[in-house]
Amino acid sequence: MTEFDVEQVRQDFPILQQQVNGHPLVYLDNAATTQKPESVIQAIVDYYRNDNSNVHRGAHTLSDRATEKFEGARTKVAEFINAPSSAQVLWTRGTTESINMVAATWGRQNLQAGDRVLVSALEHHSNIVPWQMIAGAVGATVEPIPVDASGTLDLSAFRQMLDARVKMVSVQHVSNALGTIHPIDDMIAMAHAVGAKVMIDGAQAISHWPVDVQALDCDFYAFSAHKLFGPTGLGVLYGKRELLEAMPPYQGGGEMIETVSFTGTTYNQLPYKFEAGTPDIAGAIGLGAAIDYLSQLDRRGAAAHEQALLKYAEDKARQTEGVKLIGTSPYKTSVMSFVLEGAHPADLGMIMDQQGVAVRTGNHCAQPIMDQFGIPGTVRASFSFYNTFDDVDRLFAALEKAKQFLQ
């Protein structure tokens, strides 16, 4: 596959070929989780059918094969994000655990009373609560970087907030609630200028364009496999080597140790120091297959297609009576959040589902920004490269039918 072709791509995703409630499925919930190509599904099946064994510990062929595929997936991830070494790629259960790991290890080791952690007002709860937990334990504070009425981060306000007491800036690369792309290149440089470290939640960015952690110069970058066309239950945490080396382990158990005795324990080298217990072997192999799949795509063409879908959808929304877009930043990826006058988002979602259109409704685990807009939540339609302009038309046809019921 050398050229982007949405109809050809759709054939790779078996779930898209079904009907829901008597209608062809229109899947517009990609910000929550992406669908899986057949090659990913098959890679997981093949592992369980042919190679099922624990990794690193067995002296037999199945373990050798499983270990080779498991560590091969780690190497693929390192190359995918341009990490200097696969040892700096840690397996976690997802972006949420990755952020919790940094907060609980780096944060406990480095944050003190009076220190400040900056997050944006747009953040997912998983990039707020872990920092609040550690800040409360040590006497630090967690402060929001303002966002304007369009959902764009206020870079000038961020600049003014920075001082020597700021020890960590933790922000999304892309907002899951509104699709806003944060100016993280500038933010990372500005934070480093005052000695702060930077954690990037890349869960919503990683599927849309190439990420180069060395070019960004971020200290930590996290994402989830299931938002990158891979399986659920697996995440990635990248960190700069000197930071990971200095951080204490997150959990104790097998694999993360070098020696154990009742007089003391020494820990394993990177990345295993942070990987206690049997890992999600099948998940890692599935993520490796997802990266292989993406490597065949024209990712620039796919991204352009997603942006065209977003523009088409937002233009239709502006022409639809009663619809108000929430999040109108000029810097957006393919997420459209909106409300309909006189209708609760949950009711809209249920009626659209009856017509085979899958969207997300609610506060999207981003209550602070919903409070800022004075709304309980939105309807969120999020697009991937396998969506079509017909999907957008079906979305708005379902919306018109919902309006007949609700208004």
pTM: 0.96
| In the chain, domain spans | 6-30+298-406, 42-295
- For residue 222, give both structure tokens: 């996290």
42-295: CATH class: alpha beta
The verdict on whether 218 is a catalytic residue reads: no
**What was the pLDDT predicted at 3?**
52
382: nearest Cα among 339, 338, 329? 338
Q: Which of 93, 47, 88 is nearest to 70 (CA)?
A: 47
- Integer Rg of the chain from CA: 22
Chain centroid, CA 149 distance in Å: 24
User: Could you tell me the CA-to-CA distances from 276 to 24, 170, 226, 251, 296 in Å, in that order?
Assistant: 43, 25, 21, 6, 34
Copy the structure tokens of residue 167: 């020890």
The pair of structure tokens assigned to 79 is 């190359």
According to CATH, the superfamily of the domain at 6-30+298-406 is Aspartate Aminotransferase, domain 1 (3.90.1150.10)
CB 205 within 8 A of CB 211: yes
Residues belonging to the chain = 407
pLDDT at 405: 84
C-beta separation of 345 from 378 below 8 A:
yes
Instruction: Determine which one of 308, 358, 365, 375 is catalytic.
Output: 365
Partners of 143 in the β-ladder = 118
| pLDDT per residue rounded down to tens, the chain (407 residues) | 345 799 999 999 999 999 999 999 999 999 999 999 999 999 999 999 999 999 997 789 999 999 999 999 999 999 999 999 999 999 999 999 999 999 999 999 999 999 999 999 999 999 999 999 999 999 999 999 999 999 999 999 999 999 999 999 999 999 999 999 999 999 999 999 999 999 999 999 999 999 999 999 999 999 999 999 999 999 999 999 999 999 999 999 989 999 999 999 999 999 999 999 999 999 999 999 999 999 999 999 999 999 999 999 999 999 999 999 999 999 999 999 999 999 999 999 999 999 999 999 999 999 999 999 999 999 999 999 999 999 999 999 999 999 988 86
Q: Which of 324, 312, 327, 317 has its CA nearest to residue 174? A: 327
Report residue 226: phi and psi, to 5°.
-75, -15
Structure-token pair, residue 163? 């001082």
